[in-house]
Structure 1
Amino acid sequence: MRRVVHAVGVPLLLAIAACAGAPPNPNPRANDSLVAVSIDLPRYMGRWYVIGNIPYLGDQDYVGTYVQWALRSDGKIMDAFVGRRYGFDQPVTGSFFIDTIVPSTRNGEWRVCFSWLACVTRLTLYVDESYQYTIVGLPDKSLGWIMARDTQVSDEMYAALLLRLAALGFDVSRFRRVPQQLDQIGKPAFQSPGKPE
């Protein structure tokens, strides 16, 4: 993998700042507070493929995206976000962060810092018993991610995970699937990567 850091930090911060201008959330539970679930941290580490998300400026042109989490000796988490911008024929690029677990949250709430100036709180909202599927989101529900250990998730499973997000108060109409294979590009409900500038 080429260890090229793309400029996702600034676009992400701009996208987060722009969340105030996001369309109103029509979900009747939109104002319900989110609570992080308890997670077994060693089991939660490793690679998670991004199956679906609310696209934001920093990752909307990416395919094959995944996160790689590794527990450090100091209790913090190495966080790598990688993918291929504009298509599967493009090089792998990534952004790398150090996450901090918020105390007394049963490992479910992390602080992700993009620089010494800005951090966001990320909540683990669901993980299945076998640690094959997880849902992660921001407390204000402006951004959310569906992730899995495998690149392929059935339509039925994806729909079930969307139902969980709806029950939590997310606007699921904003979620788009992330292509993890070439034949998924252009399919309905999948994000379409842009073209290189």
Structure 2
Amino acid sequence: MKKEIITTSALLGMASIAALVLHAQDKPLQTVQYVELDKYLGKWYEIAAFPQSFEKGCSHTYAEYTLNEDGSIHVKNTCIKNGKVKVANGKAIVTDKSTNAKLDVQFFWPFKGKYWIIGLGHDYSYALVGHPNRKYLWILGRKPVMDSQTYNHLVTLAANKGFDVRNLVKTAQE
């Protein structure tokens, strides 16, 4: 009987997430109100993400953002893959100057990806980044490990914004 209650509760929880995602996906993706780029620059550890082919097999993933002379942002993504350090360099351009929360990131010409900051700690200790199509999502932190309360807050925020958080996979950082 107890096992049936737990199973039923889990199924109801998953159904609730699915309903929330479907409802929120109909709305435009909202970003944070404003990003102070100087505070956003620096090193960010990937705490969790939706799996993507370009990150397959990666662990110890982090990004470093620095300001270029032309005002664009240099993006340096690093991970460990098959025991070797892999680095990808790219460039980000702010596409919404009123918020600084919408950027286009390019690693290979002519392909660009949308990088929208949809959650941000008041002290810039964590960030939630997604794509308006809701197929890309990253939880980032300034430290390689994030406390469970902050992590759960960001997962809930992502679900409320229409992301199917059942697809989130934590990134090995230890």
Query: What does residue range 145-184 of structure 1 map to in structure 2 within 5 Å?
Result: 145-181=138-174
Separation in structure 1 between the aligned mates of residue 161 and residue 96 of structure 2, nearest angstrom: 23
CA RMSD, Structure 1 to Structure 2 (Å): 1.3
Query: Is 1:53 aligned to residue 49 of structure 2?
Result: yes
Q: 1:39 aligns with which of 32, 35, 39?
A: 35
Q: TM-score, normalised by structure 2?
A: 0.84
Match of 2:71? 75
Separation in structure 1 between the aligned mates of residue 109 and residue 55 of structure 2, nearest angstrom: 21
Q: Cα offset for 1:85?
A: 0.8
Q: 1:109 aligns with which of 97, 102, 108?
A: 102
After TM superposition, which residue ranges in structure 1, 4 or more long, deviate above 6 angstroms?
none
For structure 1, which runs of at least 5 residues remain unmatched after alignment? 1-24, 182-197
Report sequence identity in percent: 23
Separation in structure 2 between the aligned mates of residue 146 and residue 111 of structure 1, nearest angstrom: 18
State the AA in 2 paired with 1:63: S
Other structure's SS at 1:162 match: helix
Give the aligned length. 154
**CA deviation string 1:85-105 (max 9, x = no partner):** 14xxx1211100011111434
Q: TM-score, normalised by structure 1?
A: 0.74
**CA deviation string 1:14-66 (max 9, x = no partner):** xxxxxxxxxxx751212211122210000000000000000111113111000
More strand by share: 2
Query: Is 1:84 aligned to residue 80 of structure 2?
Result: yes
Q: 2:62 aligns with which of 66, 70, 78?
A: 66
Match of 2:4? none
Other structure's SS at 1:51 match: strand
Q: 1:29 aligns with which of 24, 30, 34?
A: 24
Other structure's SS at 1:114 match: strand
Match of 2:92? 99
For structure 2, which runs of at least 5 residues remain unmatched after alignment? 1-17
Match of 1:140? 133
Separation in structure 2 between the aligned mates of residue 79 and residue 104 of structure 1, nearest angstrom: 19
Task: Specify the structure having the higher radius of gyration (Cα).
Answer: 2
State the AA in 1 paired with 2:165: V
